[in-house]
Amino acid sequence: MCGIVGYLGNRNATPIILEGIKRLEYRGYDSSGLAIIDGNKNLKIFKESGKIVELERALPGPDETYGTIGIAHTRWATHGEPTKINAHPHTDSQKRIALVHNGIIENYQLLRKKLEEEGHSFESETDTEILVHLIEHFCLEEVSLTDAVRQACKLVEGTFGIAVINRDNPNEMIAARRGSPLILGIGNDEFFVTSDVSAIIIHTKRVIYLQDNEIVTIHRDGFEITNLENERIDAKISEVDWDVSSIEKGNFKHFMLKEIFEQPISVQNAFRGRLMEKLSTVRLGGLMMNGNELKKIKKIQIIGCGTSWHAALIGKHIIESRARIPVEVEYASEYRYKNPIIPENTLVFVISQSGETADTLAALREAQARGATVMGITNTVGSTIARESDAGVYIHAGAEIGVASTKAFTSQVTVLTLLAILLGRMNHLSPTYGATFIKELRSIPGKIEKILEMNDLIREIAESIKDYTNALYLGRGVNFPVALEGALKLKEISYIHAEGYPAAEMKHGPIALIDENMPVIAIALKDAIYDKIISNLQEVKARNGKIITIATEGDKVVKKFSEHVIYIPETMHILQPLLSVIPLQLLSYHVADLKGLDVDKPRNLAKSVTVE
């Protein structure tokens, strides 16, 4: 959601924190701001509404913005509109203390009332401003800023990742978290705080992932971590294994396009080291379950949101058909409130690219509270979901910056497919099937590359549909969730209304919408239900629908009724989604780009939704 960056060191903080929030802009981008303390102990605040470039434009010259301590924020509005006044940093009554905040203060109205009774007055509509006034309330002469933050954190309900500075002490920064990610970066004689490592890895890869209710006090020569009870915490320093290139666009126009093109590698990274040729099976060591434990699983629940939920639907199809274990897929936001039933021997998975999605995290906690073992499938090492799950599997997709998820999706599907084969081989799948699967999975990255070579053709097709206002995506079986994902991609970044439907279900409703103004994007691959989907497409054709078909190489039939055909290589049925989704990702990308839209930062969306 919002992004936070703070710096304390010997260099000028402003360009560092500004560059840092730009790297986090994909998380929230409706307003931004920064605060620095200059050499004369002046606290200077700069804020703007709109994208960070607006803030950058509004900044005065370097002399006016020089300071070796600073905090910055890019916002995705929750309380109060994305105006300049509501942008962070917020300050206390005396404009001594500045604070940036990621999260939601749930009891802010109660706190606001109490503070108003004490004489505090507020400029903004945000919950965050209450927090900085609360810190001011505790920050009396004999109380350190750390203790004031500690007292305030104790009173606050909700989630926060904060960074705080006080103009009276330009040698100190305080950061604290509960529920929202916060990371301390340790450089050479300099320190960083951030909500996401991608903001700081060009400066340092040595980090500490703060835990809930921890407070770090940073000085120029070191730091100390304590908890709400003022006990000292010995935290582990981790080394981030991301390459700096993973957070750069390189020669690509957008991160989304770069990430689509990374899929031959990211899919490989998802299965690397997990295929056991000798036993014709797979290994998922992160689950930390032995064969006996795995064999006891009678039911699986997979919980997620958005694209992760679509990956889960594919996982359900493959696990049920190959491992014969019933799978329930749940929206995290629904699961937590529906009094979920978790029978004995159920294994619960939460799936989340970011590892920070608030609803998914709440579902994880609910399942654990009901005694379930919960596995995390996530991309983000050190994320809250990774830490709170009982065990789990990383998808190793690398940094995903484009708001519309692409490579994380194929990596999630890869991991779920591995899970299906692992469980299937323990039940009834033969070694021959296992061996065929491994061989075929190894060929998938090369096949994705072949599809990516059709980029220009797909751009031409995008040109032909970019002015429509609706689109229908059809698929069957394992490709039905791919149709849902294709439709979601189009809506997210091109703002064209799109729906995904199981092809045969179309005649029970959406067929009424079909005419020459409704492009239909159909996945019709050669498999057991191919003939069925061809009949469904004939029904579309008979009503003048404009059909774009994703078909298997060599299929001549589909040409007869399709306006455009995108041919993809043949593969095993259960691996089809890893190929069929690629042209749909490219199609959405090009439609949005041709419409001149901001592909990586679509309106109203955020990469990681850390509020309910």
Task: Using CB under 6 A, list all residues that contact ligand G6P.
Answer: 305-308, 352-354, 357, 360, 403-405, 605, 607-609
Q: For the CB of residue 490, give the shortest distance to ligand G6P in the complex, in Å.
A: 13
By C-beta, is 496 or 506 nearer to ligand G6P?
Answer: 496
Calpha distance 600→340 (Å, rounded): 36
| Side chain identity at residue 63, one-letter code | D
Nearer to ligand G6P, 180 or 352 (CB): 352
Distance from C-alpha of 574 to C-alpha of 310, rounded to nearest angstrom: 15
DSSP 8-state symbol, 271: H
Gap between the Cα atoms of 138 and 144, Å rounded: 9
DSSP H or E segment with residue 470: strand 470-475
Contacts of 112-119 with CB under 8 Å at 24 or more apart are: none
Buried b (16+ CB within 10 A) or exposed e, 331-358: bbbebbeeebebeeebbbbbbbbbbbbb
- Active-site option among 2, 139, 153, 305: 2
Smallest CA-to-CA distance from 589 within 291, 367, 260 is with: 260
Angle, in degrees to the nearest 10, between helices 263-271 and 431-452: 160
Q: What is the chain's percent helix, strand, coil content, to nearest 5?
A: 40, 25, 35
Q: Which of 205, 489, 491, 607 is flagged as catalytic?
A: 607
Residues composing the chain: 612
- Our CB check for ligand G6P shows the closer of 325 and 609 to be 609
Burial (0-12, 13-18, 19+ Cβ within 10 Å), 160: buried
Which lies closer to ligand G6P via its Cβ, residue 379 or residue 576? 379
**Which residue, 217 or 360, is less far from ligand G6P as judged by CB?**
360
The nearer residue to ligand G6P, 82 or 510, going by C-beta atoms, is: 82
Burial (Cβ within 10 Å: 0-12, 13-18, ≥19) of residue 578: buried
Catalytic annotation present for 607 = yes
Closest approach of ligand G6P to the CB of residue 173, in Å? 28
| Sequence letter at residue 476 | R
**Which residue is it, tokens 């090492």?**
381
Nearest distance from C-beta of residue 355 to ligand G6P, angstroms: 7
Given the complex with ligand G6P, which of 27 and 167 has the nearer CB atom? 27
CB of 307 to ligand G6P, least distance (A): 3
Shortest separation between residue 309's beta carbon and ligand G6P, angstroms: 8
Of 191 and 480, nearer to ligand G6P (C-beta) is 480
d(CA 314, CA 322) in angstroms, rounded, equals 12
Please name which of 30, 15, 384 lies closest in space to residue 182, comparing C-alpha atoms. Answer: 384
β-pairing, 346-352 with 373-378?
A: parallel
Smallest separation (angstroms) from ligand G6P to the CB of 306? 3
Q: Quick check: 197 and 238 in contact, CB under 8 A?
A: no
Residues whose CB is less than 8 angstroms from the CB of residue 268 and which lie 6 or more positions away in sequence, other chains included: 445
Answer for the pair 320, 481: CB distance below 8 angstroms, yes or no: no
Ranges assigned E (strand) in 228-345 = 238-239, 275-276, 281-282, 299-304, 327-331
Encode 117-153: b = buried (16+ Cβ within 10 Å), e = exposed: eeebeeebebbbbbbbbbbbbbbeeeeebbbbbbbbb
DSSP string, 560-603: GT-SEEEEE----GGGHHHHHHHHHHHHHHHHHHHTT--TTS-T
Nearer to ligand G6P, 379 or 562 (CB): 379
| Residue 186, strand partner residues | 191
Closer to ligand G6P by Cβ: residue 7 or 309: 309
Provide the minimum distance between the beta carbon of 489 and ligand G6P in the complex, in angstroms, as a whole number: 9
Between 91 and 585, name the residue whose CB sits nearer to ligand G6P.
585
Q: How far is the CB of 609 from ligand G6P (least distance, A)?
A: 5
Minimal CA–CA distance to 440: which of 468, 463, 467, 418? Answer: 418
Least distance to ligand G6P from the beta carbon of 88, Å? Answer: 21
The residue nearest ligand G6P at its CB is 306
What is the sign, positive or negative, of the torsion defined by CA atoms of 432, 376, 414, 492?
positive
We find the least distance from the C-beta atom of residue 452 to ligand G6P, in angstroms, to be 21
Q: Compute the least distance from the CB of residue 419 to ligand G6P, in Å.
A: 17
Active site residue 2: yes
Q: Which residues are catalytic?
A: 2, 607
